[in-house]
Amino acid sequence: MDSRTPAVELELEHRAPRTPGLEGRGEAGQSIVFVVLSMFVLLGLCGFVIDVGRAYYTQRQLQSSADAAALAGAAQLPDPAAAASSAHRFGATPGSANAHANVPSVTESISAECDTSLSSCAPDNVVRVSETAKAPTSFLTLFGVRSISVTAKSAACGSCGSKPADVVLVFDRTLSMCMDFQGNDDPSCTKLENARSGMETFLDALDPALDRVGLVVLPPATSASKACTAPPLRVYDSKTAAWLLVPLTDVYKTSTGVLDHRSALVKTIDCLPAAGATAYADAIDQAQAELNRDGRPDVDHVIVFFTDGAANTGPSYYPKMSPYRQQPCHQGISSANAAKSQGTTVYAIGYTLAGMGGYANQCLAQDYDGPPEKPTITAYDALVAIASSSSTFFNQPSAGDLTSIFRAIGTQISGPRLIP
């Protein structure tokens, strides 16, 4: 045998005859098993991707509704009950504003709490919302997984928004602010002190970096430099009287974020004495004039009007039959409507309107002892009409605390904000 023999043997061995079909059948069987297993794994992976994607989509829907609920609730702070109710209305549970037909069986948890790292609580300043749902599966049911539980959490603070505004406070500091609910003299001026605390709470809810605030009073002072001096009885009749005591300013807090009682705004609020009768319209006119004159064109313009009773007088420099004198409450509505037509939002706060045996609620013509205004109108009805909407009208029937009302207004103006 020569040197080529092994190669020939190998070739002959390679070409040796075999039983037809046996080898092909074995390889085909193995391939089928492999394909089946591969398809099963691929189907499982596809099912996993599809079902997890559906769960992720469900979670995003829940997150959107939780955010909306938290913001809606925070807008009602510091009232925890109102905050919880509003948050629920905008959640994703059945019947709520953000309920989704493809997200069934949503459970919800809502709480209001105090976060001491933010502005003062009085009593709560944060709303937290947690929503949970089970996203049904399709393909993963083959592996015994019938649903995927998803949860969304959100929190919003009520007085930490980032919406800038120019605001003019219109403050009724009439003589009745130093009377009790029955109309008796109150040397402690409890109502006046409550109003001061309310306005300072309002300032505490705002951010000087965003919000500027001015102050108009009724009756006016004889001059801005005499803001802390009680004006004479007929001060309304002076065309030079100072209605605007503090123009729009961002100086009302210190660098540490607390109220600056040395600032012109806070110092004036602290010192205002109670005196005189009530005339709405000119004060509202003067507030809008300040917004037109010094207000920024690219931010919200707001008037916050506070009074403890009906308008009952008007400046004598108007003609005798002028609505400023004959219809002081109706003219207050007209002045507010003029402000609203220019884009200004008007908040109205009524305080002890049923006081003095109902006298505080009577709108009178000509002077504080004149006949009823015609058409007849009450202070309550006038304030409802002065406010921009039902959500910007507030009524405090007793001579109690006003801080919650002023803080709620501050929250609405600055806008709630989502927080981590």
CA 93 to centroid of chain Cα atoms: 22
pLDDT (0 to 100) of residue 26 = 55
399 and 273 assigned to the same domain: yes
Would 97 be classed as within a structural domain? yes
What DSSP letter does each residue of 112-126 carry, written as one string?
EE--TTSS--TT--E
Mean pLDDT of 337-346: 98
Would 252 be classed as within a structural domain? yes
94 and 177 assigned to the same domain: no
Determine what percent of the chain falls in helix, strand and coil, rounding each to the nearest 5.
40, 20, 40
Query: Could you tell me the CATH number of the domain that includes residue 260?
Result: 3.40.50.410
CB 379 within 8 A of CB 310: yes
Total number of domains constituting the chain: 2
**Could you report how far apart the first and last alpha carbons of the chain are, in Å?**
90
Instruction: Give Rg (Cα) of the chain.
Output: 36
For the chain, what is the mean pLDDT? 86
Q: CA 59, CA 194: separation in Å to the nearest integer?
A: 46
pLDDT (0 to 100) of residue 34 = 65
Tell me the pairing of strands 393-396 and 417-419: unpaired
Tokens of 112: 């209001």
pLDDT in tens, 20-52: 554 555 555 667 766 666 666 676 666 677 778
Would 20 be classed as within a structural domain? no
Q: What single-letter amino acid sits at 136?
A: P
Q: With b meaning 16 or more CB within 10 Å and e meaning fewer, what string describes 391-411?
A: ebbbebeebeebbbbbbbbbb
Q: CA 308, CA 81: separation in Å to the nearest integer?
A: 26
pLDDT higher at 4 or 151: 151
Would 205 be classed as within a structural domain? yes
Helix, coil or strand: residue 133: strand
pLDDT of 122 higher than 90: no
pLDDT of 303 higher than 60: yes
Q: Which backbone phi and psi does 67 adopt, to 5 degrees?
A: -65, -45
Would 394 be classed as within a structural domain? yes
Would 9 be classed as within a structural domain? no
255 and 370 assigned to the same domain: yes
Decide which of 133, 157, 181 is a domain's last residue.
157
62 and 183 assigned to the same domain: no
* Residue from 81, 120, 71 nearest 403 by CA: 120
235 and 203 assigned to the same domain: yes
pLDDT higher at 366 or 188: 188
How open is the CA angle 81-87-91, to the nearest 5 degrees? 145
256 and 172 assigned to the same domain: yes
Q: What is the pTM of this model?
A: 0.72
131 and 210 assigned to the same domain: no
pLDDT (0 to 100) of residue 160 = 72
107 and 132 assigned to the same domain: yes
Q: With b meaning 16 or more CB within 10 Å and e meaning fewer, what string describes 185-215?
A: ebeebbbbebbbebbbbbbbbbbbeebbbbb
137 and 190 assigned to the same domain: no
136 and 222 assigned to the same domain: no
Would 130 be classed as within a structural domain? yes
CB 164 within 8 A of CB 107: no
How open is the CA angle 51-53-55, to the nearest 5 degrees? 70
pLDDT in tens, 198-247: 999 999 889 999 999 999 999 999 999 999 999 998 999 999 999 999 99
**Segments forming the whole domain that contains residue 75:** 26-157
Q: CA 227, CA 268: separation in Å to the nearest integer?
A: 7
153 and 192 assigned to the same domain: no
Q: How many CA atoms lie within 13 A of 358 on its CB side?
A: 2
pLDDT (0 to 100) of residue 41 = 66
Decide which of 128, 157, 186 is a domain's last residue.
157
Would 16 be classed as within a structural domain? no
312 and 184 assigned to the same domain: yes
Decide which of 105, 135, 157 is a domain's last residue.
157
